[in-house]
Structure 1
Amino acid sequence: MEKIVILTGAGISAESGLGTFRDEEGLWAQHRIEDVATPEAFVRNPGLVHGFYNARRAQAVKANPNVAHGALARLEREFTGEVLIITQNVDDLHERAGSQSVVHMHGALNGALCHDCDHRWEAPLVMRVGDQCPQCSAQATRPDIVWFGEVPYGMEVIDPALSTADLFVSIGTSGQVYPAAAYAQHSGRMGARTVELNLEQAAYSRDFDEQHYGLATEVVPAWVAGILADRH
């Protein structure tokens, strides 16, 4: 086994205090997806969308990586082959834990984007309607987030990685958002062994050869320890 591709979702950051779509309390429970996470929503009410992502950004800045993030960083350091993390998360907890090979397919809270000239820069903690792009000066700035209906980032890296993986691992994702929901099936068809690490059984658990259920802070470090032990 030489190449491990890992998909992470909101479940790996939940124990760091960052809410998921399914939380009964928290930011997502206070808003409809259609009102804060689509291009149409931003056109309709940019102030509401900026306010929502300002609040998410503030939460992410205060959060710290947990031992599951740390375990994946350890895997990347100590595994003798290749490790790639594809994350659906928009926080930077993987990087802050020490992971370097990370693809943010849904963008990042700490990024800003001009939808006139496509210039990207580091987002301030608070973004406002009317903020100017530092490149073209247009008042067209938005969070550098991939909203529903938009094409995920990094597909030029993700697609080849899925096709050549020896092991595909899904961590903390419900398997309800495409294209990521199809990654296990695709990798399996291309010959990879597929493993699910999740809080509980998900809608697409049948796509995996192996499953481990429990808190991410428990199952991820244990799985990483097993992988590294097998290499020695």
Structure 2
Amino acid sequence: MTRPDDPSAPCAPSAPAEPSDHTLQRLWQSQSTPATEFALDDLRRAAGRFQRRILWRNATEYLACAVIALVFVFYMVQFPSPLMRTGSALVIAGTLIVAWQLHRRASGQPAPTDRGAQSWLDYQRAQWARQRDALRSVATWYIGPLVPGVIVFRWGVETELGPGAPFARGLTANLVIAAVLVAVVLFNRYAAHQLQQRIDRLDQEAR
């Protein structure tokens, strides 16, 4: 469900920042002097681009949650065996939890009302930190809620379906599913590390 190709992403990482880090660092270093309108415009544009990426990423994740829920509603009707029905219900519940947690942990925050450069730099740093924290913890709030349902559903697939069922079975299939979930966690942690590096560079330049 995740495609971090942006360090802003869980869920979907690509480079989150323009102007470049060096531009933001120079602006941070000059925070003690009056910022020009040009510098403020740069900061606003950088923050706006980052927030649009977050908005589109989250919209994609919400759509994915809706599709997953509908698919498992179909499975509940199509495969009425007890384990598969229970597993489907748990996956649907887990998907709703994921959507709620995505909004709670990784939605964009309102832009500052203060017109100063310092406020916009603090805001941008806080947004990077918020996304970093969300990405670091995807194992608990993004993957974790789905695991019980996946386990029960796969148990039903292995024990309650006949040979012609449209699901891969056996150890290899289950290991592939587990590997995908682990890869999602590792990918998001790598994206969080990228964001932390950006934050560290800003902090070092501010000293």
TM-score computed with the length of structure 2 as normaliser: 0.35
Q: Which has the higher helix share?
A: 2
TM-score computed with the length of structure 1 as normaliser: 0.32
Q: Highest relative contact order (Cα 8 Å, sep 6+), 1 or 2? A: 2
Q: Which has the higher strand share?
A: 1
